Amino acid sequence: MSNVPSRVELRPLTHSDQDEFCSLVRASAELHAPWMQLPATGEEFQGWMRRFDDGTNLGFVIRVQETGEAAGMVNINSVIRGRYQGASLGYAAFAPSAGRGYMAEGLTVAMQYAFNDLRLHRLEANIQPGNKASLALIQRLGFRYEGLSPDYLYIDGAWRDHERWAITAPSPWTSDPSLPEV
């Protein structure tokens, strides 16, 4: 995948992002419900940060290059190596900058990072059938529909059906050394 010019950049989520992140999550409550639950208090944020400790999950803030404004977040979650070499994306816009194409650009940068730097072979996005904005976004990015998984993820207090969307690395692709040779 060639790197295209982008208005946004990905910055690894750090403890210093806590206050800004939580206040943007609180400002985005209406946009995120019932699809996404993100930390809105310092305590929740500190618990959330622990998921990034062992490198299995990577968290990023999508920032507008010109202003530094945090437009949203994207996680590259559940990185599995071996014969899978895949991960799943979790993402959300922040309400003050939603609907301006920043998420499409931020996810494009995340895909480039995943395929070119992490050398992953597969990215998934698992989306509830009613989440029209997320389905439209992921289709624009070239993900393909792979099927419906009943009771797939525990969201907003219940096991929810999810559509499974995925994309594999464009060629040419350089594999990670952890991929078995045969």
Ligand X SMILES: CC(C)(COP(=O)(O)OP(=O)(O)OC[C@H]1O[C@@H](n2cnc3c(N)ncnc32)[C@H](O)[C@@H]1OP(=O)(O)O)[C@@H](O)C(=O)NCCC(=O)NCCS
Q: Where on the chain is the footprint of ligand X (CB under 6 A)? A: 31-32, 35-36, 91-93, 98-104, 127, 131, 133-134, 136-137
**Complex with ligand X: residue 32 or 81, whichever CB lies closer:** 32
> Exposed, middle or buried, 21 (CB in 10 Å: 0-12/13-18/19+)?
buried
Tell me the HSE value of 125 on the side-chain side, using a 13 A CA sphere. 28
Residue 72 and residue 97 in contact, taking contact as beta carbons nearer than 8 Å: yes
* DSSP assignment string, 82-132: TTT-EEEEEEEE-GGGTTSSHHHHHHHHHHHIIIIIS--SEEEEEE-TT-H
**Complex with ligand X: residue 136 or 148, whichever CB lies closer:** 136
Q: Is the peptide bond before 172 cis (omega within 30 degrees of 0)?
A: yes
Residue 85 and residue 115 in contact, taking contact as beta carbons nearer than 8 Å: no
**Complex with ligand X: residue 17 or 105, whichever CB lies closer:** 105
Smallest gap from Cβ 28 to ligand X, in A, equals: 7
Smallest gap from Cβ 99 to ligand X, in A, equals: 4
**Complex with ligand X: residue 48 or 102, whichever CB lies closer:** 102
CA atoms of 98 and 29, how far apart (whole Å): 13
Smallest gap from Cβ 100 to ligand X, in A, equals: 4
Smallest gap from Cβ 87 to ligand X, in A, equals: 14
Which single residue brings its beta carbon nearest to ligand X? 101
Smallest gap from Cβ 177 to ligand X, in A, equals: 31
**Complex with ligand X: residue 101 or 178, whichever CB lies closer:** 101
